[in-house]
Structure 1
Amino acid sequence: MTKQISQRELESHLWGAAIVLRGLIDAGDYKQYIFPLVFLKRISDVYDEEHATAMETYGDEELADLPENHRFAIPDGCHWDDIRSATENIGGTVLRAMRAIESANPDTLPGVFGDGDWGNKNLLPDSTLADLIEHFSTKTLSIANLPEDELGNGYEFLIKKFADDSGHTAQEFYTNRTLVHLMTLMLEPQPGESVYDPTCGTGGMLISTVVELKRHGEEWRSVRLYGQELNYGTSAIARMNLFLHGITDGHIAHGDTLARPAFLNAKGRLETFDVVLANPPYSIKTWNREAFAKDPYGRNMWGTPPQGRADYAFFQHIAKSLDPKTGRAAILFPHGVLFRREEAAMREALVKSDLIECVLGLGAGLFYNSPMEAVVVILRATKPAEHKGKVLFINAVNEVAREQAQSFLRDSHQQKIVGAYRAFADIEQFTAVAALDEIAGKRYSLAIPQYVAGAKAADASEQVDVADAVADWRAAAETSDTAVAEVLTLLGSEVMA
């Protein structure tokens, strides 16, 4: 048996695969090929490990290959060793093996390997694939050599590295993990609860709840995880990510959460959850606003967001997805949702619903590859009696560290914020508790400087957001053009008369 692989060795090994591909395909596409190969190698090595254990018990090859001795079935000709022996049309061999494994495990693995273009020899010539397969063949990824948590951490490392390498396009599949940890701490997931992420990316927020329970030695296998992701390849990575963390019963759906929510109850209504963690895409414009205006699931209870910003569509979807008794949510947004004029009516309805428990303002750089400051909004379906009719505002803009061009939250930052959240009291220049009447008196603005003395307006309500400014300019220009056209039409009809 080979010796257990250290975390540093694993990280170096995984990143070495990306180096094989560098210069041949775009960095943003690495994940489509490396993640599936890591997963295929893992399940092949674990199959061999399970086979060896069964042989010790039964001493018979046929008995050792029985399905009950293996977590996943690997059909003949689809093992890693079979792929390694291929010398031509390697991409086609890989693809056939992956599809056969998916078919052989219909309850757990359909579509898990994604939709990489394995047969494209211009993209991935046989020589490159052979090098990649040989690279992965140098390590045995069995559970004995690499326990699930360690491999899961390695996977997270690779996700982060791909995000670094591919630039701003990585936002869809990577959220700052120290911020995810903070959001998890604030919601305190419990054994047996359901956890949902409507825009789950690679599943990091879902996994964070399991990791937190493990950290405290609590039962984590009873947690039910649900996620939906629009990008097919990314949703496949999320499923692999859950499996590699030892989570075998997670539910990851592919599709558009706003247009076709995947999780419905027996009555065809939205399923509700105990915990919701989310980092929705920022101000998307290509969404079906007309359908949302007459949403069959009742998600437009506060109103219909403008076409240029779907933020409050996700906001309302999450609110509607909360269990009415136990539901709580932590949502990562840009500050604009707190004060933008075009969403004022919806924000008023949100405040009046008394769902908001906390508005947490954070420092710059915690959105991936963006200088914007982040805000986390905490919703709670049933607040404690002492929190009803109140909102806690936290100005944590200075609780952030930056090293090597990366922003993150230290443990001390997280503990200070969580402590203030649980105390739910005024702390000079850090937190303020505001009654709903006070918020109404400020025209339902949730901008943190309106409530926390000493918070700089530039951190929120006076912050210049280029996307916001351009959108406002375009809207004003469109209104002006329409008015001019109407006047010209009127003048023209008068002349004709």
Structure 2
Amino acid sequence: MTQGRTVKDIGAKLWQLCSVLRGDGVTYQDYVTELTYLLFLKMAQETGMEKSIPEECRWAPLAKAVGQSQLDLYRAILLKLSETRRGLLADIFADAQTKLRKPANLKALTEAIDRLDWFSAREEGLGDLYEDLLERNAAEKKSGAGQYFTPRPLIDSIIHLVKPQPGEVIQDPAAGTGGFLVACDHYIKQQTDDLYSLSEADRTFQRQDAFTGLELVHDTHRLCLMNLMLHGIEGRVRMGDTLSSDGEALSRANLIVTNPPFGTKRGGERPNRASFVETRGSSNKQLAFVEHVYRNLAPGGRAAVVVPDNVLFEDNTGRAVRQQFMAMCDLHTILRLPTGIFYAGGVKTNVLFFTRGRSNQGNTHDVWIYDMRTGQAPFGKTRPLTREDFAAFESAFGDDPLGRAPRQDQGEEGRFRCFSRAAIADRQDNLDIAWLRGAEDAGEDTLEDPADIAAAMVEHLRRALTRAEALAEELALPETV
């Protein structure tokens, strides 16, 4: 998604205010949430959509007020809107509270927002402006937002390969701020002249019913809804836990694209989905999400899922998931991602591309693995990830979203290899396969940012803890919390 210069400039101006507010105890995440409240009111005014907002809660009276009166009015507006029961308004302002304490800071925000070039922002896309703010927040390691914000170049590459189509039900069971769903919508609009080539019924479906999902974290769900709204999506992304009965309410999907959270359920809690089989006794969230995806795909449906390395190699529950997964689905491609893509520099991740079979047995025949990691310098602030970094992989993958385009095994010196299902079975169904020479972790030695180095250390500890938890489950020992 290419953003215009004006959107970038406006985003930069809004983001600069965050440094001013830090003295008011406002964190990066608090700031984005605060902006969400204010931008919603301002954008409602700019787009003529204020009819759902009580007159005393609209932008004009708030922007006109000054001093303590303005801060008191703002608090009253948030309280009133948080008590509403009107659809999107209720979701955006649910439990809304301001973290601002100084009237001067609120006035600085409202004046800055009023000074923005709203005509140009509307022309280039209010959704792109909001995504720019989300991306800036994710880039700040101190905000912690990178844990749910998937880099746009990675999202765009995945969507280019899975090719979402009009009329498909598209799901993200760990929606975050909605990046995958927004990218799918953008791709479909590019193919359909902004939906104008579709019938009225099909346009209504795309706006209201095509996109579904769940998000567990309340504040993140708020940001997701705002992001979808500004992109013209009225999809059904609800707040809930996919690993609970909430996930059972999600309908079968033609396409699932997601980057689930890594780690274990809090406090040793385990998934309580009645429909789960392989992961019912495991606290490993990413394995449980993988089971949700392959069970929630409609026959013939396809998926792309970002997972950490342990999903590929973990024994016991992990192996059972992989066996069932490769029986029910055609796991045709694995992309081994380089380090430094996410906010924690040491996290090692992959993208699984697969298709749900028409039957539940014997669907995986060959698994193609593209190694984008070994021998590569890590990404980070000094080497940002770009769409061009995925060009070689996209070429090797081919044009078929089901992974059936002609492919060439590049051999032991190349980055793209094919492994038969039988060969994987001989490896105890371990999919953590590397063949290129060179220390895979050598890139971590080149990390310079102290935050990246600390994150790499945390990731090594997390991997060790994951192995220990798997061993505890195997021995039926009480889990250590």
Q: TM-score, normalised by structure 2?
A: 0.80
Distance 1:228 1:437, change over 3 A: same
1:244 and 2:230 are equivalent in the alignment: yes
Q: Matched residues in 2 for 1:44 and 1:105: separation?
A: 21
Q: Is this contact kept in 2: 1:27–1:166, CA < 8 A?
A: no
Distance 1:6 1:458, change over 3 A: closer
130, 138, 142: which one aligns with 1:163: 138
Write the deviation string for residues 231-258 of structure 1: whole angstroms up to 9, x where unpaired: 11110111111111232x1222112221
SS at match of 1:147: helix
1:271 and 2:251 are equivalent in the alignment: yes
Q: Matched residues in 2 for 1:108 and 1:467: separation?
A: 38
Alignment-derived partner of residue 492 in structure 1? none
Alignment-derived partner of residue 215 in structure 2? 229
Q: Is this contact kept in 2: 1:173–1:201, CA < 8 A?
A: yes
1:176 counterpart letter in structure 2: P
Deviation for aligned residue 1:113? 3.1
Deviation for aligned residue 1:215? 3.7
1:193 and 2:168 are equivalent in the alignment: yes
Deviation for aligned residue 1:76? 1.7
Alignment-derived partner of residue 424 in structure 2? 439
Q: Is this contact kept in 1: 2:28–2:143, CA < 8 A?
A: no
Distance 1:456 1:196, change over 3 A: farther
SS at match of 1:281: coil
313, 336, 349: which one aligns with 1:339: 313
Write the deviation string for residues 376-418 of structure 1: whole angstroms up to 9, x where unpaired: 011211489x98522221112267884633541432x323212
1:184 counterpart letter in structure 2: I
1:350 counterpart letter in structure 2: F
Q: Matched residues in 1 for 2:44 and 2:421: separation?
A: 54
Deviation for aligned residue 1:353? 2.6
Q: Matched residues in 1 for 2:168 and 2:152: separation?
A: 22
1:314 and 2:289 are equivalent in the alignment: yes
Q: Is this contact kept in 2: 1:199–1:279, CA < 8 A?
A: yes
Alignment-derived partner of residue 267 in structure 1? none
Write the deviation string for residues 266-293 of structure 1: whole angstroms up to 9, x where unpaired: xxxx41111111111112231775553x
Deviation for aligned residue 1:156? 1.6
2:221 counterpart letter in structure 1: S
Q: Matched residues in 1 for 2:181 and 2:90: separation?
A: 20
Distance 1:256 1:187, change over 3 A: same
SS at match of 1:90: helix
Distance 1:466 1:191, change over 3 A: same
Q: Matched residues in 2 for 1:73 and 1:130: separation?
A: 25
43, 50, 59: which one aligns with 1:80: 59
SS at match of 2:214: strand
Alignment-derived partner of residue 29 in structure 2? 28
1:28 counterpart letter in structure 2: Q
SS at match of 2:430: coil
Q: Matched residues in 2 for 1:416 and 1:97: separation?
A: 52
Write the deviation string for residues 184-243 of structure 1: whole angstroms up to 9, x where unpaired: 112110112221111111111110111223344545455311121111111011111111
Superposed CA RMSD = 3.4
Deviation for aligned residue 1:103? 7.3
1:467 and 2:462 are equivalent in the alignment: yes
SS at match of 2:246: coil
401, 406, 427: which one aligns with 2:410: 427
Deviation for aligned residue 1:80? 0.8
Q: Matched residues in 2 for 1:351 and 1:387: separation?
A: 6
Write the deviation string for residues 434-488 of structure 1: whole angstroms up to 9, x where unpaired: 2222211111111132xxx42657469xx993212244457769999979xxxxx
Deviation for aligned residue 1:369? 3.2
Distance 1:74 1:473, change over 3 A: closer
Q: Matched residues in 2 for 1:6 and 1:427: separation?
A: 44
Distance 1:392 1:182, change over 3 A: same
Ranges in structure 2 where 5+ consecutive residues have no aligned partner: 196-202, 399-405, 443-455
Q: Matched residues in 2 for 1:420 and 1:387: separation?
A: 22
Q: Is this contact kept in 2: 1:426–1:433, CA < 8 A?
A: yes
More displaced, 175-184 or 416-425? 416-425
Deviation for aligned residue 1:155? 1.4
Write the deviation string for residues 306-365 of structure 1: whole angstroms up to 9, x where unpaired: 33x22111111111221113x111111111211122422322222233342211111111
Q: Matched residues in 2 for 1:182 and 1:383: separation?
A: 27
Q: TM-score, normalised by structure 1?
A: 0.77
Identity of aligned residues (%): 24
2:188 counterpart letter in structure 1: L
Q: Is this contact kept in 1: 2:327–2:364, CA < 8 A?
A: no
2:265 counterpart letter in structure 1: K
Q: Matched residues in 2 for 1:377 and 1:469: separation?
A: 23
Ranges in structure 1 where 5+ consecutive residues have no aligned partner: 48-69, 265-269, 484-497
99, 102, 111: which one aligns with 1:125: 102
Alignment-derived partner of residue 353 in structure 1? 328
Write the deviation string for residues 411-436 of structure 1: whole angstroms up to 9, x where unpaired: 2x323212212234422322222222
Q: Matched residues in 1 for 2:121 and 2:475: separation?
A: 63
Q: Matched residues in 1 for 2:235 and 2:298: separation?
A: 19
Q: Matched residues in 2 for 1:82 and 1:200: separation?
A: 34
Distance 1:185 1:20, change over 3 A: same
SS at match of 2:121: coil
- Relative contact order, CA 8 A, sep 6+: which one is greater? 2
Q: Find the structure with the greater CA-based Rg.
A: 1
Distance 1:357 1:5, change over 3 A: closer
406, 410, 425: which one aligns with 2:387: 410
Q: Matched residues in 2 for 1:207 and 1:16: separation?
A: 26
SS at match of 1:275: strand
Q: Matched residues in 2 for 1:455 and 1:338: separation?
A: 20
Q: Matched residues in 2 for 1:149 and 1:274: separation?
A: 31
Alignment-derived partner of residue 58 in structure 1? none
SS at match of 1:330: strand
284, 303, 308: which one aligns with 1:329: 303
Deviation for aligned residue 1:305? 5.3
Q: Matched residues in 1 for 2:268 and 2:295: separation?
A: 18
Matches within 5 A, 1:35-50: 35-47=36-48
Distance 1:468 1:382, change over 3 A: same
1:231 counterpart letter in structure 2: V
Alignment-derived partner of residue 179 in structure 1? 154
Alignment-derived partner of residue 372 in structure 2? 396
Alignment-derived partner of residue 253 in structure 1? 238
Q: Matched residues in 2 for 1:383 and 1:479: separation?
A: 33
Deviation for aligned residue 1:126? 2.2
Q: Is this contact kept in 1: 2:346–2:460, CA < 8 A?
A: no
